[in-house]
Amino acid sequence: MSSTVVALLVLVASSAPAQPVRYRIQPEASDVGFRATSRLMNAEGRFHRTAGEIMADPKDLSTATITLSIEAASIDTGIALRDVHLRSDDFLHVERFPSITFESVRVEAVGRRVIVFGRLTLHGVTREVAVPVDVDITNIALVASGEFVLRRTDYGISYRSFVNPVGNEVRVAFTFRARAA
């Protein structure tokens, strides 16, 4: 084979898009937490059961697709009575809506910082959200962390209390750790 043909093959091979890598979320190493305000006592907590996967080319994060699922009943604020109330039909209504899900629709990437646009389904309501995410990625592992604010009334969670009014905004912070599958 001539050196010109070899050089051409190398050039074509190097310009071909990389194959995306499938990363599976490691629930035991990931964290989804929240903070909500109220008059008497703010609520901070986390969800213990998460699952999902990310398909991404480590060299081009704009091609990523993300699917996540959180078991709503896994909510934990450290106060059992409050957790029971948050699982009730006043808030998450976990018997009717057992999962909180997210599915990306597009990703805008600038280096290792991305904005993930997707559909968040909570309490049976789906809305599009834009979430800023910091990403550390290799062919073996991925760590994605970020924070965003959601309005509970946007998702049909309209609980009101005269004694202990609950704020409408809930700050969500997350770190997902994933391994190549």
**What was the pLDDT predicted at 105?**
98
Three-class SS of residue 153? Answer: helix
pTM of the predicted protein model: 0.86
Residues 174/162, Cβ–Cβ less than 8 Å:
no
β-strands 21-25, 166-180: how paired? antiparallel
Residue 39 has what pLDDT?
A: 80
Pairing of strands 75-76, 31-38: unpaired
Looking at residue 38, its pLDDT comes to 82
Q: φ and ψ at 153, to 5 degrees? A: -70, -25
Question: For residue 169, what are the contacts with CB-CB under 8 A and spacing of at least 6?
Answer: 36, 37, 149, 150, 151, 152
Residue 52 pairs with which residues in a beta bridge? 68
Position 163 scores a pLDDT of 67
Q: Are strands 125-137 and 166-180 parallel, antiparallel or unpaired?
A: unpaired
Q: What is the pLDDT of residue 67?
A: 98
Q: Please tell me the chain's helix, strand, coil percentages from 3-state DSSP, rounded to the nearest 5.
A: 15, 55, 25
Residue-level pLDDT, tens digit, the chain, 181 residues: 554 444 434 444 444 556 899 999 999 999 999 999 888 888 999 999 999 999 999 999 999 999 999 999 999 999 999 999 999 999 999 999 999 999 999 999 987 799 999 999 999 999 999 999 999 999 999 999 999 999 999 999 998 876 666 889 999 999 999 999 9
Where do the domains of the chain lie, and which CATH numbers do they carry? 19-180 (2.40.128.110)
DSSP assignment of 76-117 equals E-S-HHHHHHHHSTTTT-TTT--EEEEEEEEEEEETTEEEEE
pLDDT reported for residue 2: 52
pLDDT for 173: 98
**Residues facing residue 136 across a β-bridge:** 143
**Structure confidence at residue 14 (pLDDT):** 45
